[in-house]
Amino acid sequence: IVHGPEPTVRTTCPYCGVGCGVLATPDGQGGAAIAGDSEHPANFGRLCSKGSALGETLSLENRLLHPQVDGVRVPWETALTEVADGLHAVAEAHGPESIAFYLSGQLLTEDYYVANKLAKGFIGTPHVDTNSRLCMSSAVAAHRRAFGSDTVPGCYEDLDEADLIVLVGSNAAWCHPILFRRMADARARRGTKIVTIDPRRTQTAEESDLFLGLRPGSDVALFSGLLVHLADGGFADARFVAEHTAGLDGALERARRIAPDIAAVAAATGLAPAEIGAFYDLFAGTRRVVTAFSQGVNQSAQGTDKGNSIINCHLVTGRIGAVGTGPFSLTGQPNAMGGREVGGLANMLAAHMHFTPEEVDRVRRFWGAPRIITGEGMKAVALFEAIQRGRIKALWVMGTNPLVSMPRADAIREALTGLDLYVVSEAVADSDTARGLGRKTVLLPAQAWGEKDGTVTNSERRISRQRRFLASPGEARPDWQALAEVGRRLGHAKAFAFPSAAAVFREHAGLSAFENGGTRDFDIGGLMDIPDAAYAVSLPVQWPLPKKSGPPGRRQGRARLFADGRFYTFDRRARFVAVQPPALAQGVSDEHPFVLNTGRVRDHWHTMTRTGKSQRLSAHRAVPFVEVHPDDAATHGLTEGGIARVSTPHGAAELEVTVTDAVPPGTLFMPMHWGGAYASRARVGALVRGMPDPVSGQPELKATPAAAAPV
């Protein structure tokens, strides 16, 4: 393997947070043969249906190839000057806080870093958020409340070594397929039990030893009951709790009120007492337990409490930081973790630093940024509402399609028409979001997967390289370069004089180590002096990776954190969290009697701008659909293959009906992927309100009151 443009290039899959290694062999005609990388520690050569079809998605059909201003092709110089002048004018007229950036877990860390530095350090706006807000920000908030830091304690090897894997709100068999195969391997090799907790009987549930089909939104009751069961049943690790934690009494007292016994848990969750008891006994009696949670937990108006109710059960048993144990957040996107590292969320600064005066000052000095912001910005839902109210006058969207994926997508479309400046960095020519909307719309052609160079971080804190193996088409450029050019045009030539992606990465690594001294979890100082040549061939490595972790070239990251029982709170103790009783943010009514759940299908990714190019992938589910239970179908006159109009208080869609008992009575399920040609009749985003979690700001996407009727 040569780590250059020819002949075979080692890179990373652009889809889910598993972060599988890919070998790409270009054919010299714009295509490439794709295979799994047997040396990558995430997948050891395996790829799922989406990853193995990557070669079918490389065509230039529907690519944005040239910059445009208001629909007219212009040179890059003109487009960049329009952006810089427009941002300057908006800042002068309305203040820098009238400018916002909406970023993406699809961006590379280098793109993310430069965007964050430009906005928060030099333009002086805190309003930088990302589609990762819709993905895992509740897991971030739960980590911070429990550990004092946004730290994923464990690694994929823990799934190989666990005796019990509990999957909560996760259809891993479809959404993290290669990790699920590792879990299945562990079951075959060592008898690992798999428990799935989900309102839907998914493919993952079908392949589990125990499936708990709980009522939507009742997870907190199930895990509060488990905490009580563990504490009262003599399963607590008293020494660990006494030496390394705080707050058990308060959390337990609240848990007792929510779920004093199994009968109360059964009443709250709709589960049978026997199946609850079986799960509790399994958890209590197994030392090596990993609880992996995903969007069913996070995409909820109570997502942070759900996460903490899970973490509480690991803390009380001391099952964290050791092989085969721990709570484990499965991130959705390829670089959700990298975005957290650079501070791409509105409530983070950079390198896992926040807004204490000391940390603001530290980043200010490192960046040489006197206009650095001093507090949090608006999170995604609030940010788009502020556009609606006219408070935000300029928006730069990068690598994401909020007009399909954001809650209240139609209201957002309307709001964007009022912007003075609307900038979209995009690889796709006619995504819903790339259609001209603002008073001035600038489209900047971005490099796509296979054309760009940089890094991503997967769910186990492993930084891998995405490498270029195709020529850049048309005038497409790296996003970090466009951002840096705008920074220079705004008068910050020195701060944005990055000659390469490697130089951006070195600065990012340097900031992580700057005045760190072990006080912050995210430290990759061991990579801050990586030469260009080493960056080009660098292999996947886990953080933390501080400078003192070995001599250059042989520095090793850490697979697990918290093995010493020391966390990142001020007293180094983990915190139990007293959670709120479960309740759906929006209840059903006579008019809207169903709970509408949303999610992915096996073979599509996000809004299908890439996977939609593969006929093989599209064949899995060719049209948007709604799943309905047979009893409800009979009551509401819905038939298999017919068309249903699904309506909510926020919008309506027309979808093909699938009648299945995989969804419980009283619920509907609809996939999130369809936009584009189906935009007017199948976008999930137009149907959901997205009530935000009060702690994380992550919107509820899985429990909207809805009605369904035949068309």
Q: Which residues bind ligand SF4 (CB under 6 A)?
A: 13, 15-16, 18-20, 43, 47-48, 50-51, 176-178
Complex with ligand SF4: residue 50 or 650, whichever CB lies closer:
50
Measured distance CA(393)–CA(629) in Å, rounded: 45
Q: How far is the CB of 56 from ligand SF4 (least distance, A)?
A: 14
Distant-in-sequence, close-in-space partners of 710: CB < 8 Å, separation ≥ 6: 636, 637, 638, 639, 642, 643, 644, 645
Q: In what order do the strands lie in the sheet with 462-466?
A: 454-457, 462-466, 541-542
Complex with ligand SF4: residue 229 or 610, whichever CB lies closer:
610
Q: How far is the CB of 55 from ligand SF4 (least distance, A)?
A: 13
**In terms of Cα–Cα distance, which of 513, 510, 556 is closest to 530?**
510
Q: How far is the CB of 176 from ligand SF4 (least distance, A)?
A: 6
CA–CA distances in Å: residue 620 to residues 14, 46, 612: 20, 20, 11
Complex with ligand SF4: residue 18 or 672, whichever CB lies closer:
18
CA–CA distances in Å: residue 701 to residues 211, 602, 686: 22, 19, 11
Complex with ligand SF4: residue 256 or 602, whichever CB lies closer:
602
Q: What is the residue-wise DSSP string for 175-235? A: HSHHHHHHHHHHHHHH--EEEEE-SS--HHHHTSSEEE-PPTT-HHHHHHHHHHHHHHTT-
Q: How many CB atoms within 10 Å of residue 49?
A: 16
Distant-in-sequence, close-in-space partners of 515: CB < 8 Å, separation ≥ 6: 362
- 42: which 2 tokens? 């995430």
Q: How far is the CB of 333 from ligand SF4 (least distance, A)?
A: 10
**Residues counted in the chain:** 711
Q: How many CB atoms within 10 Å of residue 357?
A: 8
Q: How far is the CB of 364 from ligand SF4 (least distance, A)?
A: 37
- 537: which 2 tokens? 């061939």
Measured distance CA(246)–CA(312) in Å, rounded: 11
Q: 708 - beta bridge partners? A: 646
Q: How far is the CB of 165 from ligand SF4 (least distance, A)?
A: 16
Q: How far is the CB of 54 from ligand SF4 (least distance, A)?
A: 8
Yes or no: say if 7 and 25 are a contact pair by the CB < 8 Å rule.
yes
Complex with ligand SF4: residue 19 or 445, whichever CB lies closer:
19
Complex with ligand SF4: residue 48 or 415, whichever CB lies closer:
48
Complex with ligand SF4: residue 48 or 706, whichever CB lies closer:
48
Q: How far is the CB of 350 from ligand SF4 (least distance, A)?
A: 26
Complex with ligand SF4: residue 147 or 156, whichever CB lies closer:
156
Task: Classify 598 as helix, strand or coil.
Answer: strand
Complex with ligand SF4: residue 13 or 701, whichever CB lies closer:
13
Q: How far is the CB of 15 from ligand SF4 (least distance, A)?
A: 3
Q: How far is the CB of 173 from ligand SF4 (least distance, A)?
A: 11
Q: How far is the CB of 186 from ligand SF4 (least distance, A)?
A: 16
Complex with ligand SF4: residue 11 or 125, whichever CB lies closer:
11
CA–CA distances in Å: residue 634 to residues 536, 631, 637, 640, 644: 60, 5, 5, 11, 13
Complex with ligand SF4: residue 576 or 605, whichever CB lies closer:
605
Complex with ligand SF4: residue 352 or 462, whichever CB lies closer:
462
Q: How many CB atoms within 10 Å of residue 639?
A: 13
Q: How far is the CB of 177 from ligand SF4 (least distance, A)?
A: 5
Q: How far is the CB of 49 from ligand SF4 (least distance, A)?
A: 7
265-282 residues labelled b (16+ CB within 10 A) or e (exposed): bbebbebeeebbeebbeb
Task: Classify 413 as helix, strand or coil.
Answer: helix
Residue with tokens 């296979």: 450
Complex with ligand SF4: residue 439 or 620, whichever CB lies closer:
620
Complex with ligand SF4: residue 13 or 490, whichever CB lies closer:
13
Q: How many CB atoms within 10 Å of residue 412?
A: 20
Measured distance CA(319)–CA(286) in Å, rounded: 10
Q: Give 3-state DSSP helix, strand, coil % of the chain, rounded to 5.
A: 35, 15, 45
Q: 291 - beta bridge partners? A: 166, 327
Region at 279 (left for phi over 0; alpha for psi -120 to 50; beta for the rest): alpha
Q: How far is the CB of 12 from ligand SF4 (least distance, A)?
A: 8
Which position's Cβ is nearest ligand SF4?
51
